[in-house]
Amino acid sequence: MSYTFFISVGIIPYPITFLITDLISEIFGRKRANQVVTAGLIASLFVFVIVLLADSSSATDFSPVTDEQFSHVFGRTGAAVLASMTAYLIAQYIDIRLFHFWKILTKGKHLWIRNNFSTITSQLVDTSVVLLLLCGMGAISWDMFSALLINGFIFKVIIALLDTPFFYLVTWWARKKFNLAVGEEIEL
């Protein structure tokens, strides 16, 4: 018996954004983490607009990519970007809120609890929302929903668990460099 594990290529770097958000939350606080999430959304929307402009433009005669090829690859990104950015916003803000909930509950101790519990919960939300939207818009067939949900979530959980030592290392370094007590944040 064999199992084929498949995920979208776009999912590969995504869990790292939750590690970064957790590190910003730990070191700089909730307000800064929310600002970074918003800045990430703005940057993504900027790239999306550039892709739309490029898709509506004609390729040069010497371009190795035809208009049809470009449009086939990038022209269908609207639904994916909309679904991804919606899921990103919801999940990241949930991650930040849960991270600080666990930080208060553990009195700044037990980094692994807030890092993993906030990330794993928000990753389930992210994966569910993006797939619900993509299936609802017809970009992905509903019969793929369960497999993509399970595979995407398992991948994200594995990355969340593997990044915990990095979370500890960077947090330890930041506390030492900025002379922070356990649970203390840098005021900017």
Name the residue with higher pLDDT: 12 or 171: 171
Least Cα distance to 54 among 64, 45, 67, 43 occurs for 67
Read out DSSP for 17-85? HHHHHHHHHHHH-HHHHHHHHHHHHHHHHHHHHHHHHHHHSPPPTT-SS-HHHHHHHHTTHHHHHHHHH
CB atoms under 10 Å from CB of 104, counted, come to: 11
pTM of the shown model? 0.84
Per-residue model confidence (pLDDT) at position 15: 81
Task: With cut-offs at 50, 70 and 90, classify the pLDDT of residue 129.
Answer: very high
Least Cα distance to 10 among 163, 157, 152 occurs for 152
Per-residue model confidence (pLDDT) at position 76: 67
Pairwise CA distance, residues 33 & 40, whole Å: 11
Per-residue model confidence (pLDDT) at position 73: 74
- Are the C-beta atoms of residues 174 and 180 closer than 8 Å to each other? yes
Residue whose tokens read 């084929």? 4
